[in-house]
């Protein structure tokens, strides 16, 4: 079984890495490209916000469609849409065209829920957290490699990074077309399709269907709160270090690399081992506690050693929580709605990436440089309180609808969070 499932998991991680590296190539260039069309600070922010808005709207849609039509065609179509958006971005002659291109790009990037569903399809229960961690590590590595490559390409011409990113997306599509097997069904028997996947109301039906499960609703709420808090920290951190240390982009670039490396190490290797030892629920609560503690320490981190310690705690906490949330959501949803559920969670995370920066900016203006971190810590503690009842009998009933592999496992193979009660 491990031999059969390792290939799709590794290939999906590689696909996600290439996907996010391609996005990272253009990330440093986007604000300058928008300014070329006369965009001020609000316009630059809108270019980034409209991308996240498209993800919010379409990630659950693509997840639901992957439940109905299979993971492979949806991921392939999304990569082609991304390539189209990058070409339009390079050819944009006005801010309006650029905004349209970025909205289309957000639609293409809405395949992350489908990718996570592939992981859930091919991993046994005891390896689910490790599989989700591998996807998280691939995302982190993409964000480390992509911007660095974009910086190398930028001197060759303003639009060169866009065209290179488009070629990367097309190469990724060929990789999926050639090597990614369909994981939506096993053998010759296709799994039943969620009723929410039928009809014209696919966008809103998916939301209603998923939120009928109280455990899923709790986990989605936790995902929203901690993602918003972490994004808020990222948004104002540069302003904080500029105010506290007088740092420039170079020093902050080193710090963000430090954060990224810690998150990759946590998600890529440690989270699977910790989940097997502690159980998913305990690891989720521990990660939220670490994230809240690290955020609360940041306002007083006026010396570099303390700053590195606080950011290390934040990074380890985030590296633990992100894949565990995805693993728990895959356990709590029936197989025929797995893409739908994970797509919804990613859509809510995209919404948090819109709300978090706005909240951080207001808190920074009203309360000072440390206020956004303290507010984020409070939101993460609220998320921990919401997560505490996650071991209720309702969750056990939801978990009973998990994958056939989970249903048929012995007590030793059942997820640790189920055994705790």
Check if the beta carbon of residue 380 is closer than 8 Å to that of residue 288: yes
Q: What is the pLDDT of residue 45?
A: 66
Q: What is the pLDDT of residue 207?
A: 58
Crossing angle of helices 112-122 and 338-367, in 10° steps, is: 130
CB hemisphere CA count around 350 (13 angstroms): 27
3-state class of 314 per DSSP? helix
Q: Which residues contact 70 (CB under 8 A, 6 or more apart)?
A: 182, 184, 185
Q: What is the pLDDT of residue 378?
A: 96
Among the listed residues 56, 352, 102, the one whose alpha carbon sits nearest the alpha carbon of residue 233: 352
Cα–Cα distance for residue pair 13/19, rounded to 1 Å: 10
Low-confidence ranges of the chain (pLDDT < 70): 1-6, 28, 31, 41-42, 44-45, 184-212, 249-250, 253, 336, 390-421
Q: H helices of 27-127, where?
A: 30-36, 41-69, 71-91, 95-108, 112-122
Cα–Cα distance for residue pair 365/40, rounded to 1 Å: 19
Measured between alpha carbons, how far is residue 142 from residues 103, 135, 199 in Å? 21, 11, 36
DSSP-derived secondary structure for 105-144: HHHHGGGHHHHHHHHHHHS-GGGHHHHHHHHHHHHHHHHH
CB hemisphere CA count around 416 (13 angstroms): 18
Crossing angle of helices 249-265 and 214-245, in 10° steps, is: 150
The domain spans of the chain are: 2-183+201-415
DSSP-derived secondary structure for 253-311: HHHHHHHHHHHHHIIIIIHHHHHHHH-HHHHHHHHHHHHHHHHHHGGG--SHHHHHHHH
Q: What is the pLDDT of residue 47?
A: 77
Q: What is the pLDDT of residue 41?
A: 60
Q: Looking at the DSSP assignment, which residues form a beta bridge with residue 189? A: 186
37 burial level (CB within 10 Å; 0-12, 13-18, 19+): middle
Q: What is the pLDDT of residue 253?
A: 66
Per CATH, domain 2-183+201-415 is 1.20.1250.20: yes
Reading the block at residue 186, the tokens are 């096993």
Measured between alpha carbons, how far is residue 115 from residues 9, 19, 94, 178, 409 in Å? 9, 11, 33, 16, 24
- H/E stretch holding 233 reads helix 214-245
Q: Looking at the DSSP assignment, which residues form a beta bridge with residue 186? A: 189
Cα–Cα distance for residue pair 334/191, rounded to 1 Å: 10
Cα–Cα distance for residue pair 334/232, rounded to 1 Å: 33
Q: What is the pLDDT of residue 395?
A: 43
Give the model confidence (pLDDT) of 179-206 as tens digits: 888 876 543 344 444 444 443 354 455 5
Check if the beta carbon of residue 60 is closer than 8 Å to that of residue 206: yes
Sign of the CA dihedral 400, 405, 409, 411?
A: negative
Q: What is the pLDDT of residue 35?
A: 78
- Whats the size of the chain, residue-wise? 421
Give the model confidence (pLDDT) of 229-286 as tens digits: 998 887 778 778 888 998 875 677 678 778 878 888 888 778 888 888 888 889 999 9
């Amino acid at each position: 079984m491990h031999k059969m499932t390792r290939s799709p998991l590794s290939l999906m991680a590689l696909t996600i890495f290439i996907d996010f590296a391609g996005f990272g190539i253009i990330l440093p260039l986007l604000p300058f490209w928008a300014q070329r069309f006369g965009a001020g600070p609000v316009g630059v922010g809108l270019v980034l916000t409209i991308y996240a808005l498209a993800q919010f709207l379409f990630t659950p849609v693509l997840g639901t469609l992957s439940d109905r039509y299979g993971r492979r065609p949806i991921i392939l179509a999304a990569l082609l849409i991304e390539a189209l958006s990058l070409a339009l971005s390079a050819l944009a002659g006005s801010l309006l065209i650029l905004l349209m291109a970025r909205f289309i790009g957000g639609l293409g990037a809405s395949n992350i829920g489908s990718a996570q569903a592939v992981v859930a399809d091919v991993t046994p229960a005891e390896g689910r957290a490790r599989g989700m961690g591998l996807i998280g590590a691939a995302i982190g590595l993409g964000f480390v490699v992509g911007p660095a490559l974009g910086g190398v390409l930028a001197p060759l011409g303003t639009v060169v990074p866009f065209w290179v990113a488009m070629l990367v997306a097309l190469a990724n599509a060929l990789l999926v077309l050639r090597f990614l097997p369909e994981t939506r069904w096993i053998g010759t028997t296709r799994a039943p399709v969620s009723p929410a996947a039928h009809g014209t109301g696919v966008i809103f039906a998916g939301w209603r269907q998923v939120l009928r499960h109280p455990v899923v609703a709790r986990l989605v709420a936790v995902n929203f709160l901690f993602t918003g808090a972490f994004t808020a920290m990222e948004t104002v951190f540069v302003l904080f270090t500029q105010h506290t240390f007088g740092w420039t982009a170079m020093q902050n670039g080193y710090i963000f690399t430090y954060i990224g490396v810690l998150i990759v190490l946590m998600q890529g290797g440690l989270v699977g081992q910790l989940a097997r030892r502690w159980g998913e629920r305990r690891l989720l609560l521990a990660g939220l506690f670490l994230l809240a503690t690290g955020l609360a320490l940041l306002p007083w981190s006026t010396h570099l050693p303390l700053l590195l310690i606080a950011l290390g705690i934040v990074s380890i906490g985030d590296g633990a929580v992100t894949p565990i949330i995805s693993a728990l959501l895959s356990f709590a949803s029936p197989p025929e709605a797995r893409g739908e559920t994970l797509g919804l969670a990613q859509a809510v995370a995209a919404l948090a990436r819109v709300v978090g920066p706005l909240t951080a900016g207001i808190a920074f203006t009203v309360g000072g440089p440390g206020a956004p971190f303290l507010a984020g810590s409070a939101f993460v503690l609220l998320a921990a309180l919401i997560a505490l009842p996650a071991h209720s009998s309702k969750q056990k009933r939801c978990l009973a609808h998990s994958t056939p592999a989970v249903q048929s496992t012995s007590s030793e193979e059942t997820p640790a969070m189920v055994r705790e009660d």
